[in-house]
A and B are shown apart, each in its own frame.
Chain A
Amino acid sequence: MKEILRILEQDGRATAPQIAAMLDKPVSEVQKAIKQAEKDGIILKYKAIINWPKSGTEDVWALIEVRVTPQRDVGFDAIAERIYQFPEVYSAYLVSGTYDLSILVRGRTMQEIASFVAEKLAPLEQVQSVVTHFLLKRYKEYGETFHAPKETNRRLPVTP
């Protein structure tokens, strides 16, 4: 099961017959395992990793450090949920260290992100402080590098 997930993590479009051949298992078994993983929420979704700047789309992204006050019984989860429900929030993590939540926010313009921070995020009762870092350049995401030269063939075509 773990190996199926690892293959899908590398290539979400790998088909059950392909995976079955790689693992020397019956196709039906692999299909069943994938279905089950989808049902159990182990596989959340299949998406593409897109190099947006290359497509000419100039979205603005910001990493925001948020310090919050945890609440009785629910800890950080309730405030985290209030924050990550905003569609502007692309990802959200609870982290250790000098702040609590690390969130990645996406907007069409800098102004849009500024308004989100000023009007929606900062005014929340449990939010103590926010520090906004605008993203200047992406190097690597989900294990994929953005600026690496396209796989050049470094090997000779035939070697002993």
Chain B
Amino acid sequence: MPNTRSASAEALDNLISKKVATLPPSGIRRFFGLLSSMEDVISLGIGEPDFVTPWHIREAGIYSLEKGYTMYTSNSGTPELRRELARYLELHYQVSYDPEHEILVTAGSSEGLDLVLRAIVNPGDEVIVPNPCYVAYPADVTLAGGKPILVPTNGKNSFVVRASDIEPRITKKTKAILVGYPANPTGAVMSRKEADAIAELSKKHDLLMISDEIYARLIYGVEHICFPSLPGMKKRTILISGFSKSHAMTGWRIGYVAADRRFIQALTKIHQYTLLCAPTMTQMAAIEALKNGEADVENMVQEYNRRRRFMVKRLSEIGLPCFDPKGAFFAFPSIEATGMNSEEFAEKLLLQERVAVVPGNAFGPSGEGFVRCCYATSLPNIEQALRRMDRFVKKSSRTSR
């Protein structure tokens, strides 16, 4: 027998790169263990649609398998899908991209975000990220070797980052501003005026805009501002989006990036070495979604809107004030009045009343004092969850008195 030593746990730990070892795990997974051992939990903690992908889109995926489309596609995605994407972006946001050179199909917008950051960040570059924000933003900036600079937002400014809050944080190392509106976890949307100010700022300091517009279609009664459609912004904006939220296609992993051809070329380089191409069957389904999915999107938005109004109204009634979220499918009520911090609130609510919400601080320090409640669940579920939360808030305010 050769003389082998079994490596100690510590030795194995040392083999993991420092960058990854020091990366904090997603706060959102914390409750996961606890939750899965409990029964009769109503979860408002889910970040995906409760709708199943519309049948005609699923059927298109099945059909592509039947026809034997099981091979790679071009790195940047099938020409038909890119053409449909260009048409879709022109139709909805009046911004035109050349399907040949300015669009890359990715495995979900998550891959898109990772590619973008890896393609643009040099070691030590700073990327401005409003906070609270989607859990992957700061993590992906760090993984790409950059430094996320968090800009706090709060209920007073409806969780929309102001140009005036960004400007003092711009340094020589600032490379880009990364925004995602409509926002996860807050449901905030950006008005044209607010977006214009940030666009001007990016021009003034020659910064790149990275705009994650995955929730663009889930918007209620206001207009969505598509960053590249703003005057002079197409060249300096990288648009990231996908089908997960608009067409209830999370599990398919399909998204896209649209930008100037130089950026797309750079992204494609990484994409071809890492993913090669987005799954073929999924691309076929996405074409169907773009061609014939408009009515589905409208129906889902209408349904979300009913639940949204219902949840926001009830949250205020039970003493958890919540600004009116005009996008995505989240409400982000303040829990300050309960005297608890976010994690305490979420944990006690789960244990005492079996309702799962996500503590706001999972989305960064500025999320403290809030919880994320997702209304992408049936109305009876929302109703029941809010009854339980009502009981919980009443009980805890009694005991704290």
Contacts and interface: CB of A to CB of B under 8 A. Distances in A.
A56 B309 CA distance: 41
Interface in A109-160: 154-160
B389 to A, nearest CB: 15
Interface in B219-246: none
Interface in B178-214: 184
Interface string B32-60: 10011000010101111010100000000
A78 interface: no
A44 B379 CA distance: 24
A21 B50 contact: no
A24 interface: yes
A21 to B, nearest CB: 4
B88 interface: no
Given A156-B46, A157-B45, A7 B35 contact: no
Given A18-B379, A18-B383, A159 B309 contact: no
A90 B356 CA distance: 45
A22 B310 contact: yes
Nearest to A11: B379
Interface in B299-328: 302, 306-307, 309-310, 313-314
A158 B31 contact: yes
A20 to B, nearest CB: 9
Interface residues of B, number: 30
B306 A160 contact: no
Contacts of A95: none
A158 B46 CA distance: 5
A94 interface: no
Contact of A159 (B46, B136, B313): B46
A23 interface: yes
B367 to A, nearest CB: 13
A155 B50 CA distance: 8
Contacts of B28: 158-160
Contacts of A11: 379
A22 B311 CA distance: 8
A90 B45 CA distance: 44
A22 B43 CA distance: 20
Interface string A18-30: 1001111000000
Interface in B10-28: 26, 28
B54 to A, nearest CB: 14
A160 B314 contact: no
A157 B44 CA distance: 8
Contacts of A3: 302
Contacts of A155: 43, 46, 48, 50
Contacts of B46: 155-159
A24 B307 CA distance: 10
Contacts of B43: 155, 157-158
Contacts of A18: 310, 379, 383
A34 B78 CA distance: 50
A22 B302 CA distance: 10
Given A155-B50, A158-B356, A159-B48, A22 B31 contact: no
B32 A157 contact: yes
A24 B29 contact: no
Nearest to A155: B46
Contact of B135 (A7, A22, A156, A160): A160
A158 B32 contact: yes
A140 B314 CA distance: 34
A24 B309 contact: yes
Contact of A158 (B35, B302, B379): B35
Given A21-B310, A157-B45, 5 more contacts: A21-B314, A24-B309, A158-B45, A160-B47, A160-B134
